[in-house]
Amino acid sequence: GNSVTQMEGPVTLSEEAFLTINCTYTATGYPSLFWYVQYPGEGLQLLLKATKADDKGSNKGFEATYRKETTSFHLEKGSVQVSDSAVYFCALSANFNDYKLSFGAGTTVTVRA
């Protein structure tokens, strides 16, 4: 079946540091890939997505590239802020039209001033 594996946290960084969160997936066919973010006390919200190989999703300074050859979708941000402190979830759907999402365990990121 489809599954997502994320790097374990928690991750603690200083402001303006570089952030990488690794995500690898197992899926048949052509999955769509997502990063969701959960700020403290809130529900999840979509951060970015990519629907085919080599697509790059980007939003709020975050980027992730869909790498089919390495089955990866790593999240990166060049200079984090305190407001980026959150839990980040990698997720996939089996294909563009599949409404079911499989989530990773989540990575907690704390950014210190």
Partner 1 sequence: NAGVTQTPKFRVLKTGQSMTLLCAQDMNHEYMYWYRQDPGMGLRLIHYSVGEGTTAKGEVPDGYNVSRLKKQNFLLGLESAAPSQTSVYFCASSYLPGLGANEQFFGPGTRLTVL
96 touches partner 1 (CB under 8 A): yes
- 57 CB burial (10 A radius; 0-12, 13-18, 19+): buried
In the complex, least distance from residue 3 CB atom to partner 1, rounded to whole angstroms: 10
Mark residues 11-50: x for contact with partner 1 by CB under 8 A, - for none.
Answer: ---------------------x-x------xxxxxx--x-
What are the tokens at 40?
Answer: 């403290």
List contacts with partner 1 (CB under 8 A).
Answer: 4, 32, 34, 41-46, 49, 89, 93, 96-101, 103-106
